Structure 1
Amino acid sequence: MKNLKRWMIGSGLFGMLIFLSGCVKTDSTGTPTGEGIIYNLLVKPMSHLITFFAENWGLGFGWSIILLTMIVRLIILPLGLNQMKKSMIQQEKMAAIKPHMDVINEKMKTATTPEDKMAAQQELQQFYKDNDINIMGGIGCLPLLIQMPIFTALFFAAKVTPGISESIFFGINLGKPSLVLVALAGISYFLQSYISMIGMSDEQKKQMRMMTYMSPLMIIFFSFKAPAGVTLYWVIGGIFSCIQSLITNLYHKPKVKREIAEHFEKNPVKIVKPTVKNTTVKQNAPKNNLNNRNAGRNQGKQNKK
């Protein structure tokens, strides 16, 4: 069940990346061609805003990228917090019902016939349903679909806005890769991964370990070749992710734990009682029928006498 859940989530994210890659059409060098839904609706307006902040407000392109990233992140922050809260609620529910789930999972492992495996699977599904457990862990597609195009647009706006490639920010050329910003981006996302696991059980940390290292390493890998203006966007995004994780773990998590504990105190975990087929009646049925027939014949003979 866990492997199925991971496969579904991974497939969904991969599918969204493929979808979004077609929203901003690029040439062989990775430069947008000016076509695509996301480019015209989001990238161009964001690019104009960066230029406006840099030239009209006199902030320069470095501070303009930071300001725009902060504005966008603040706008979608409630959506991200709500998504993480829903996911946390389902995680706490799963932790509460784990002892009962282990019993059903053991039945599935020890099942020797297809009928037994199917019965255990149906019992698990009914157990989820009776206790209001979402197999997807509260991860909805809508929040991700809303956020991904915005992040994609920010990425390209920081990459293609005229003037960024010639701009200097604290001695860093925003048009060329910067090892300093690469290090800051990696540190910010490693820190975010660490903060997100505060309060998790050892088993949950073990399951999340791969994602803990995967996301920061991917950011570092792409930052080595990306212009410093793009890496600066990732640095600010990582810092905001840390803030979001801190709010979730220090405020939402204790509150959710109390709510889930009160919920199961008022509504104890519902155990599915597997239906056991009574084969004794079926096995004895032919004998009973035979006895009834013999009794009927003997009765007939006595009546003739």
Structure 2
Amino acid sequence: MKLLKRYATILVVLFDIYLFTGGYGVHGRIYALVSKPIAEILLQIAKAVGGVNAIGWAIIILTAIIRLILLPIMVNQSKKTTVSQLKMQKMRREFEKVQAAVKSAQTPAEQQAASMASMALYRENNISLTGGVSWLTMAIQMPIFSGLYLAIMHANGLKSATFFGFQLSSPQVLFSVLVLVIYLWQAYLTQLHVPEAQKKQTGALMWMMPLVIAGFTFVSSGALGLYFIVGGIFVVLQAFITHLMHANLKKQVEDDFVILKTADELLQQGAATQTAGQAGPSFGNETVNRVRPEDLRPRDVTDEKPEQGRNAGKQHREND
């Protein structure tokens, strides 16, 4: 199953690269292969809805449908990320020991051994190095959201479309304010279960993102404002579901997660490997000394004492 997922991830990522390297405008590959079909669906929904606000409702309905389809995938991704964070919290002391070993290393070899122990701590205890993030999930979402974004941005009839009196082709302050409130709520829910030490690192970024998104909608069109409002509602829903699952996930990690290899064991193992590497390979109970470069240089095998002996003998015979 893991091998199948790996191959699927590679294929989807390669397809994303093919799409995004073909240009991002109306003449690009992503617009031709993804945005055009979405734009056609958008127009069909607008025709079915009818009325003055048809384009606005079509944007809301289509964004909601796509978000609803992707919601289980997004929630599953949040679940994996939360489990990974809880495991790392449980192993906090082990990681601190490895970090202390890296800082106190006096030689490059010791520093390398401690760094390898840090990597092994993740691997031996089945903790994801990426924090539970699924590249397949991200690769699937990127072309869909980008295609929807382009379809809305270049939708037919958008220049003259309105939504309850709001011009969809120009920026709308009210939409930007709603986007800010929604994404601030999402940031609040996300930060509820983050450890205090980690909040100092990620907190500023989490609170900055709503300002960035709201600022973007303030200078873009009202149509994209609607897109981010609906998307933000589903992001809040995802964060709220994860918040409700947190207690059960924490209990699950407390009950099931067992530290298979401690930092002390891995550091000792790394030190033993380093010592064995310096001493040379071992066969049975004997250790073979490592050959030094100077041992391979040509040496003068002539012994001075025998040479003196021969000369002394020769002189003795001549005297006779």
Query: Could you tell me how far apart the structure 1 residues matched to 2:15 and 2:182 are?
Result: 25
Supply the AA of the counterpart residue of 1:270. Answer: K
Query: Could you tell me how far apart the structure 2 residues matched to 1:136 and 1:19 are?
Result: 24
1:256 aligns with 2:249: yes
Taking structure 1 as reference, are residues 105 and 79 closer, same or farther at Cα in structure 2, changes over 3 Å only? same
1:247 aligns with 2:246: no
Partner of 2:39: 47
* Preserved CA contact (<8 Å) 1:23 1:39: no
Supply the AA of the counterpart residue of 1:161. Answer: A
1:207 aligns with 2:201: yes
Query: Could you tell me how far apart the structure 2 residues matched to 1:211 and 1:218 are?
Result: 10
- Within-5 A mapping of 1:1-305: 21-26=20-25, 32-33=26-27, 35-36=28-29, 38-58=30-50, 60-251=54-245, 253-264=246-257, 267-271=258-262, 272-273=264-265, 274-275=268-269, 276=271
Deviation at 1:181, TM superposition (A): 0.5
Taking structure 1 as reference, are residues 102 and 212 closer, same or farther at Cα in structure 2, changes over 3 Å only? same
Q: Give percent identity, aligned residues only.
A: 32
Instruction: Compute the TM-score of the two structures, normalised by the length of structure 2.
Output: 0.74
* Preserved CA contact (<8 Å) 1:66 1:236: yes
Q: Which runs of 4+ in 1 moved over 3 A?
A: 15-25, 275-279
Deviation at 1:102, TM superposition (A): 0.6
* Preserved CA contact (<8 Å) 1:83 1:139: yes
Pair member with larger Rg: 2
Deviation at 1:63, TM superposition (A): 1.0
Supply the AA of the counterpart residue of 1:130. Answer: E
Taking structure 1 as reference, are residues 183 and 143 closer, same or farther at Cα in structure 2, changes over 3 Å only? same
Taking structure 1 as reference, are residues 21 and 231 closer, same or farther at Cα in structure 2, changes over 3 Å only? farther
Instruction: Compute the TM-score of the two structures, normalised by the length of structure 1.
Output: 0.78
Query: Could you tell me how far apart the structure 1 residues matched to 2:200 and 2:62 are?
Result: 36
* Preserved CA contact (<8 Å) 2:152 2:224: yes
Taking structure 1 as reference, are residues 25 and 115 closer, same or farther at Cα in structure 2, changes over 3 Å only? closer
Supply the AA of the counterpart residue of 2:204. Answer: M
Taking structure 1 as reference, are residues 25 and 68 closer, same or farther at Cα in structure 2, changes over 3 Å only? same
Taking structure 1 as reference, are residues 262 and 53 closer, same or farther at Cα in structure 2, changes over 3 Å only? same
Q: Tell me, which stretches of 5 or more residues in structure 1 are unaligned?
A: 1-14, 27-31, 286-305
Supply the AA of the counterpart residue of 1:25. Answer: Y
* Preserved CA contact (<8 Å) 1:158 1:229: yes
SS at match of 1:137: coil
Supply the AA of the counterpart residue of 2:44. Answer: F
Taking structure 1 as reference, are residues 247 and 20 closer, same or farther at Cα in structure 2, changes over 3 Å only? farther
Query: Could you tell me how far apart the structure 1 residues matched to 2:15 and 2:249 are?
Result: 30
Taking structure 1 as reference, are residues 194 and 141 closer, same or farther at Cα in structure 2, changes over 3 Å only? same
CA RMSD of superposed structures (Å): 2.4
Query: Could you tell me how far apart the structure 1 residues matched to 2:213 and 2:259 are?
Result: 44
Aligned residue pairs: how many?
257
Deviation at 1:129, TM superposition (A): 2.0
Query: Could you tell me how far apart the structure 2 residues matched to 1:229 and 1:99 are?
Result: 49
SS at match of 2:38: helix
Q: Tell me, which stretches of 5 or more residues in structure 2 are unaligned?
A: 1-13, 280-286, 288-320
Deviation at 1:98, TM superposition (A): 0.5
Please list the CA deviations of residues 148-193 of structure 1 after superposition, one character each: whole Å capped at 9, or x if unmatched.
Answer: 1111111111111111221111220011110110111122112111
SS at match of 2:62: helix
Deviation at 1:231, TM superposition (A): 1.1
SS at match of 2:158: coil
Deviation at 1:117, TM superposition (A): 0.7
* Preserved CA contact (<8 Å) 1:97 1:269: no
* Preserved CA contact (<8 Å) 2:55 2:161: yes
Supply the AA of the counterpart residue of 1:55. Answer: K
Deviation at 1:224, TM superposition (A): 2.1
Partner of 2:316: none
